[in-house]
Amino acid sequence: MELLFLGTGAGMPTKERNVTSIALTMYEERGSFWMFDCGEGTQHQVLKSPLRLSKLEKLFVTHLHGDHIFGLPGLLSSRSNQGGTASLTLYGPPGIKEYIRTSMQLSQSRMNYELNIIEIQEGIVFEDEQVSVSARMLDHRIDSYGYRIEEKPKLGTLLTEKLNGLGIRPGPLFGMLKRGMDVTLEDGTRIIAADVVGPPVPGRTIVILGDTRPSEGSAALAKRADVLVHEATFAQELSDLAKEYYHSTTKEAAQTAVEAEVKALILTHISGRYAQDGAQLLEEEARSLFPNAYVAHDFWSYEIPVKSREEI
């Protein structure tokens, strides 16, 4: 699992930063990647990255401001021309369905894959045997959501030395025990799966927020997450401006991370006024409250480490 930041700027693109888009790669887990927001020019950013649109499985939109959605029509159209034939599901606030359908219809764009559009509310928006995704409303000028992605615990590893001691060699019985199925040997010995399989490996939790001022929704979503991606449009000295425009400062994002007890904080949606050395100053400001904080830049990646069993 890895976060790849395709666009980290706020409002409009600059020479250093494109507008918002984040990819969550899950190639080992699902053979695909997910995308969060799709600002203008995102498909160009994808072309400069290792990503392939044919592997895009799900796309989550936080809110309907242009710097988060203007790249959608082009990217959805290009996916067809880049070998994307598997179905794609898009999640977003009410209005996203009308925006996509109108854009695609008026431009006479064609897709050779099934596009499912789900307009979300607070609560669980997706769940399967591997992962669940829940959404909460944030505090912005329009409806803006944050997403909490929770990986479910993985099966423990087989205690192979113990199995060898029982005279069981690698083969079909290993697979059955690994899946939690008790087995009976030819001599009538009953092997209980729980006795020969280690404890489950806890899943990871990633939280990605849309634009927001500090809010109850942010804190609730972020609780004890492995990584929190939080906007930090302004430095703390511009806190009045941040409040007026429904954005957050570096220290406000860091304070959320402290209170939520997250492990890592990544700041994005950076105002164009913080060019060159400005990002380092923002990072230092956040680290004064939360040491494990980073300011993302375009094409920067962050690997989410697998938890140890002791972290259950």
Ligand-binding site membership of 63 (annotated): yes
Ligand-binding site membership of 211 (annotated): yes
Instruction: Please give the full DSSP string across 179-224, using - where no structure is assigned.
Output: TT--EE-TTS-EE-HHHHBPPPBPPPEEEEE-S-SS-HHHHHHHTT
Report yes or no: 7 and 45 within 8 Å, Cβ to Cβ.
Answer: yes
Rounded CA-CA distance 136/56 in Å is 23
Cα-Cα-Cα-Cα torsion 277, 278, 282, 283, nearest 10 degrees, comes to -20
The one catalytic residue among 37, 67, 226, 298: 67
Contacts of residue 187, defined as CB under 8 A and 6 or more positions apart, other chains included, come to: none
Ligand-binding site membership of 247 (annotated): no
Rounded CA-CA distance 258/255 in Å is 5
Residue of 308, 310, 208, 191 whose CA lies nearest to 264: 208
Burial class (CB in 10 A: 0-12, 13-18, 19+), 13: middle
Ligand-binding site membership of 230 (annotated): no
Rounded CA-CA distance 251/163 in Å is 53
Ligand-binding site membership of 187 (annotated): no
Rounded CA-CA distance 149/169 in Å is 38
Instruction: Please give the full DSSP string across 145-164, using - where no structure is assigned.
Output: EEEEEEEPPBPPPB-HHHHH
Residue of 273, 232, 266 whose CA lies nearest to 249: 232
Rounded CA-CA distance 124/118 in Å is 12
67 is catalytic: yes
Ligand-binding site membership of 65 (annotated): yes
Cα-Cα-Cα-Cα torsion 69, 25, 127, 130, nearest 10 degrees, comes to 180
- Given the structure tokens 């392939």, which residue do they identify? 52
As annotated, the binding site for Zn(2+) includes: 63, 65, 67-68, 140, 211, 269
As annotated, the binding site includes: 63, 65, 67-68, 140, 211, 269
Please identify every residue annotated as catalytic. 67
